[in-house]
Structure 1
Amino acid sequence: MSLTRALGEPARDLAILAEGNTSELLTDGRLAVKTSGSSMQNATAEDFVVVEIAPLLEMMLAPETTQADLSAVLDAGEHAGKRRRASIETLIHVAVQAISPIKFIGHSHPTDVVALMASIHAETAYDHAAYSDEAVVIGRPLYVPYAQPGIALGRVFYDILLKHAASGREFPSLITLGNHGIVALSETAGAVEGISAMAVKSARVRLGAYAAGGVQHVPDASVASFFAREDIVERRGNLAGRVD
C-alpha cells in the first residue's frame, strides 16, 4: 500500500486520477492487485483484491476469451457498498509472475515517458543508455508496442516477455509500453520507486537531447564493461534496491 501511495504522489507526476496500478506477490503464491478506478495517491487496504495467477493466465491464453469474460473474472463483488474489481491491467502483473516471479510491480503513466512513448522514437528510445546512472538503475529496458489495455495488452505483453526470457538475456527491471507508460519490477518496493523515478529522468534527458538534435548514447561496449565492474555491481544493488 505504501508503494502505491508513493507512486501516486502528485509531485512525481507518475499517475493522476485513477491511473496506474501496483501488485505484490504474496507468500501463498497469489497476487494482491490495486482495484480498478481507485486512486493510487489515496489507496487503502480496501483498494486491493487478491487474485489467482494460474487461472488468469489460462484464461488470457485461451483464444476464445473476451474482454467481457476477463472483466467478469476480475470482479470481486461488492464490499462496504462499493463494487470492487481488480485493475483492467491485472494481466500485465500476471504475465510477469508467470514467467519470472517477483515481489513488487508498479505500473504508471509518467507524462514525460508517455510523451516519449507516443513519439516516433518510442520503440528504439531506450535501446542504448544515455548516461551512466540510467544504466546502473534501470539496466536494459524492454519495449512492448501499444495494445488496448485489458486482454489484448496482456497477450502482447506476455508473448514479448516470454520471448525475451527465452533469449537468455537479463530479465528487465523496466518495461516501456508504447503510447502508454512503464512497468517497474523489483524484489523491493523502494527499488520500484527508484526505477520509476529514473525512467522519468531518462525520458526527460532523451526529450531534451532530441530537441537539441539527437541522442549521443554511451557506447554499448562501455556499458557492458561498466556492468562487469565489482563496484558498479554493488552500486546497482544500492541504488535500485535489488535483491540478487
Structure 2
Amino acid sequence: MSVRVDPAMVPAALVDLTLRVGDPARDLVSLAEGNTSTVQDGELVVKASGARMDRASAGDFVVVDVDTAARVLADPRTTQDELSALLSVADDPRGRRASIETLVHVAAVHAGGATWVAHTHPTALVGLLSVEEGERLWQAPLFPDEAVVVGRPAWVGYEEPGLALGRAVAAAITDHADRYGTPPRLVLLGNHGIVALGRSPEEVEAVTTMAVKAARTRLIAHAVGRPRYLDAAGGDALASRADEVARRALLAGETV
C-alpha cells in the first residue's frame, strides 16, 4: 500500500472543512486529534498523522489507494506493525505518514459508500461514550432534527486505534446496512469519538454538528430528569418523509 504526499490532489473544500471542524472554539478536537478525508479518482485524501486540523494546509494530507487499503484491512494476516510501516510516506523529509485511523476512513468509504468523512472527538460526546450505559443512551433520538440529520447511529465498542478499530467500524457499518437497508451517517466509537459519513463536506459537518447537539441534549435531560426518547421506528419514518429528505439534502449542499 503506497502512501504519498500530493498537494495537487487535495481539494480546497477538504482543507476548508478541516479548518472549520478543527476550530478550537467548536470543541470537536484538541491539538492533533481527529482527521478528515475525501475520495478523489479512487484514492483517499486524508489528513496526515500529527497535523493539527485548525492549521491545516494542502501539505498536511496524504494520498492512499482505497482498494489496496481495503484489502489490507480485510486481510487477517496483516499485523499492526505491518500496517504502521505501510502508512509511512517513503523518503519524506517532513516524516509525514497516514494517520493510524486511516482505516476508519477506508471502512467508511469502502463499506459505507461515503465520499467525505470527518472523524472528531467532541468532548460532550466522548463523555457520553465513556460510560457503561453509552450504547443505550443512543437507543433512539430525543428530538426530530436528530432523527432527520443523524438518523440511527452505528455503535462500536472501544477498540485500539489501527487495525482493530478499522475492522470493527467496517463490521458495524455492514451490519447497520444489512439491518436497516442503508449505511449509517454516524458511527459512535466507545471511549473515543465519532465518525460522520456523507456525500459532501456540508453533510459530514451537519451530521457532526447535530450529533454534538444530541449529546448536549442528553446531558441536560439526564441532569433534569428521566429522558423521554422518541419512538425509534417513528424517527425512521420521519427521516424518510419526502419533505425531510429534501431538507436533509439541502443541508448536505445538494440541489433539490
TM range (shorter): over 0.9
CA distance in 1, matches of 2:181, 2:100: 29
The SS at the match of 1:136 is helix
Match of 1:120 in 2: 132
CA RMSD of aligned residues (A): 1.7
Pick one of 41, 47, 53 that aligns with 1:40.
Answer: 53
The 5 A counterparts of 1:75-154 are: 75-79=88-92, 81-154=93-166
Partners of 2:84 and 2:100 within 8 A in 1:
yes
Measured after TM superposition, the shift of residue 240 of structure 1 is: 4.1
Match of 2:6 in 1: none
CA distance in 2, matches of 1:155, 1:3: 26
Match of 2:19 in 1: 5
Partners of 1:187 and 1:242 within 8 A in 2:
no
Residues 59-108 of structure 1, C-alpha deviations (whole Å, 9 max, x = no match): 222223221111111101344x3101001100011112222332210000
The SS at the match of 1:22 is strand
CA distance in 1, matches of 2:253, 2:220: 28
Pick one of 220, 228, 244 that aligns with 1:216.
Answer: 228
CA distance in 2, matches of 1:184, 1:93: 10
Partners of 1:20 and 1:40 within 8 A in 2:
yes
Residues 24-45 of structure 1, C-alpha deviations (whole Å, 9 max, x = no match): 101x201001100000000111
Partners of 2:112 and 2:197 within 8 A in 1:
no
Residues 2-45 of structure 1, C-alpha deviations (whole Å, 9 max, x = no match): 1111110011100011100011101x201001100000000111
Pick one of 235, 241, 255 that aligns with 1:229.
Answer: 241
Distance change >3 Å, CA 41–CA 16, structure 1 → 2: same
Identity %: 44
Match of 1:18 in 2: 32
CA distance in 2, matches of 1:228, 1:192: 19
Give the paired residue count. 242
Matched AA of 1:68: D
Measured after TM superposition, the shift of residue 207 of structure 1 is: 1.4
The SS at the match of 2:136 is coil
The SS at the match of 1:93 is helix
Pick one of 36, 41, 54 that aligns with 2:67.
Answer: 54
Matched AA of 1:129: P
Give the unaligned 5+ runs of structure 2.
1-14
Pick one of 56, 59, 81 that aligns with 1:68.
Answer: 81
Partners of 1:78 and 1:84 within 8 A in 2:
no
Matched AA of 1:19: E
TM-score normalised over the length of structure 2 = 0.89
Distance change >3 Å, CA 241–CA 218, structure 1 → 2: farther
Measured after TM superposition, the shift of residue 141 of structure 1 is: 1.0
CA distance in 1, matches of 2:91, 2:36: 21
Measured after TM superposition, the shift of residue 127 of structure 1 is: 1.7
Match of 2:197 in 1: 185
Measured after TM superposition, the shift of residue 168 of structure 1 is: 4.7
Partners of 1:106 and 1:183 within 8 A in 2:
yes
Measured after TM superposition, the shift of residue 221 of structure 1 is: 4.5
Distance change >3 Å, CA 8–CA 228, structure 1 → 2: closer
Measured after TM superposition, the shift of residue 190 of structure 1 is: 1.2
